[in-house]
A and B are shown apart, each in its own frame.
Chain A
Amino acid sequence: QSVLTQPPSASGTPGQRVTISCSGSNSNIGSNTVNWYQRLPGTAPKLLIYSHNQRPSGVPDRFSGSKSGTSASLAISGLQSEDEADYYCAAWDDSLNGWVFGGGTKLTVL
Chain B
Amino acid sequence: EVQLVESGGGLVQPGGSLRLSCAASGFSFSSYEMNWVRQAPGKGLEWVSHISSSGSTIYYTDSVKGRFTISRDNAKNSLYLQMNSLRAEDTAVYYCAKGAFDSWGQGTLVTVSS
Bin the interface of chain B by size.
20 to 34
**Interface membership of chain B positions 48-65, coded 1 if the CB is closer than 8 angstroms to chain A and 0 otherwise:** 001000000001111000
- Minimum CB–CB distance from B90 to chain A (whole Å) comes to 17
- Cα separation A10 to B36 with both chains bound (whole Å): 28
Q: CB within 8 A of B95: which of A35, A45, A47, A102?
A: A45
A62 to B100, CA, bound (A): 22
Given contacts A44-B107, A98-B50, contact A37 B44 (CB under 8 A): no
Assess whether B1 is interfacial by the CB under 8 Å rule: no
Instruction: List residues of B whose CB falls within 8 A of some A CB.
Output: 35, 37, 44-47, 50, 59-62, 95, 100-107
5 A-B pairs with C-beta separation under 8 A: A2-B44, A37-B101, A39-B45, A44-B105, A47-B101
> Chain A interface (Cβ within 8 Å of chain B)?
2, 35, 37, 39, 44-47, 50, 56, 86, 88, 90, 96-104
